[in-house]
């Protein structure tokens, strides 16, 4: 059994950066730890555990979930994110949104209202992110939500009634005032902060002058792919898209 024990977004690891297989020498699990069992795609039995306070014990450490990307293998990082999403969903669906009665687990990934029968499943906030190029340049922006002084990509939540491609065009126009073409799917990523799905695209500049949306962005501009400023860490889909267009664009040009 793999225990993904989280306290306010921090994950419990052993000192050598492993997921604990046993918690009996750390805590005595109780109903308020809100354990949720789940199975990984490869068949690993997992339990998400909500800790009320950080574990302070020799042989263990707490680490921010994003930072665990650098020390865990890809599968464990993904499972830790799933555990966090399940705990967040569980916390936010204690009562029925229709009639206010308590919700109870119905299957491993669904709950049913004890009164009216309303069923709920974990929901995802769907967001798009796009790497826009113009020749050897890429459009980078700095969102006011960024947690550091680096430049990222145009991104935003998909609205109701919208296709993903429409969301890419709309967000680009809203945030930067330009139009784009050749919008192509380039990859996706679970983003458990707290329950997102990021869907990545590449696109090419079509027309318009840059007008940075000051309500959401600090700054933005075209940057040469050979000389980029500080960009997001490898944990993010933004970085993967930037690396992808940098490799394909610079690779095609004479060195």
Closest approach, Cβ 87 to Zn ion, in A, equals 22
Site membership for Zn ion, residue 151 (CB under 5 A): no
- Give residues with Cβ within 8 angstroms of 56, minimum separation 6: none
Site membership for Zn ion, residue 118 (CB under 5 A): yes
Q: What are the backbone angles phi and psi of residue 216, rounded to the nearest 5°?
A: -115, -20
Binders of Zn ion among residues 203 to 232 (CB under 5 A) are: none
Closest approach, Cβ 97 to Zn ion, in A, equals 8
Q: Interacting stretch for Zn ion, rule CB under 5 A, among 50-58, 108-116, 167-175, 211-219?
A: 108-116
Which two structure tokens, joined as six digits, stand for 101?
């009665």
Please select the residue that binds Zn ion; options are 109, 116, 230, 250, rule is CB under 5 A.
116
**Could you give the CA distance from residue 118 to residue 252 in angstroms, rounded to a whole number?**
54
Q: What region does 182 belong to: left with phi over 0, alpha with psi -120 to 50, or beta?
A: left
Closest approach, Cβ 119 to Zn ion, in A, equals 10
Total residues at interface with Zn ion (CB under 5 A): 8
Q: Are 167 and 158 in contact (CB under 8 A)?
A: yes
Site membership for Zn ion, residue 113 (CB under 5 A): yes
Give whichever of 71 and 98 is closer to Zn ion, judged by the CB atom: 98
- Give residues with Cβ within 8 angstroms of 233, minimum separation 6: 69, 239
CA torsion through residues 62, 124, 180, 144, sign: negative
Closest approach, Cβ 104 to Zn ion, in A, equals 11
Site membership for Zn ion, residue 112 (CB under 5 A): no
For residue 52, what is the DSSP state? S
Q: Interacting stretch for Zn ion, rule CB under 5 A, among 116-124, 196-204, 205-213, 236-244?
A: 116-124
For residue 236, what is the DSSP state? S
Per-residue binding letters, 61-100, with Zn ion (x by CB under 5 A): -----------------------------------x-xx-
Give whichever of 100 and 208 is closer to Zn ion, judged by the CB atom: 100
Helix or strand holding residue 226 (H, E): none
Site membership for Zn ion, residue 103 (CB under 5 A): no
Q: Are 43 and 86 in contact (CB under 8 A)?
A: no
Interface contacts to Zn ion, rule CB under 5 A: 96, 98-99, 101, 113, 115-116, 118
């Amino acid at each position: 059994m793999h225990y993904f024990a989280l306290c306010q977004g921090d994950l419990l690891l052993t000192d050598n950066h492993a997921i604990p297989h046993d918690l009996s020498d750390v805590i005595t699990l109780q109903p308020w730890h809100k354990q949720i069992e789940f199975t990984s795609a490869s068949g690993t039995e997992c339990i998400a555990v909500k800790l009320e306070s950080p574990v302070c014990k020799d042989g263990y450490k707490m680490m921010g979930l994003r930072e665990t990307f650098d020390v865990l293998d890809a599968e464990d990082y993904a499972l830790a994110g799933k555990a966090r999403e399940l705990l967040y969903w569980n916390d936010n669906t204690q009562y029925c949104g229709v009639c206010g009665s308590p919700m109870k687990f119905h299957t491993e990934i669904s709950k049913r209202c004890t009164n009216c029968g309303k069923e709920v499943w974990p929901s995802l906030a769907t967001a798009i992110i796009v790497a826009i190029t113009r020749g050897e340049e890429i459009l980078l922006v700095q969102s006011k939500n960024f947690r550091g002084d680096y430049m990222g990509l145009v991104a935003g939540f998909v609205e109701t009634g919208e296709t993903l491609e429409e969301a890419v065009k709309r967000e680009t126009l809203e945030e930067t005032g330009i139009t784009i073409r050749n919008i192509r799917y380039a990859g996706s990523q679970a983003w458990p902060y707290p329950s997102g799905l990021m869907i990545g695209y590449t696109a090419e500049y079509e027309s318009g002058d840059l007008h940075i949306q000051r309500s959401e962005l600090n700054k933005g501009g075209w940057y040469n792919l050979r000389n980029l400023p500080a960009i997001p860490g490898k944990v993010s889909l933004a970085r993967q898209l930037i690396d992808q267009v940098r490799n394909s664009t610079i690779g095609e040009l004479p060195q």
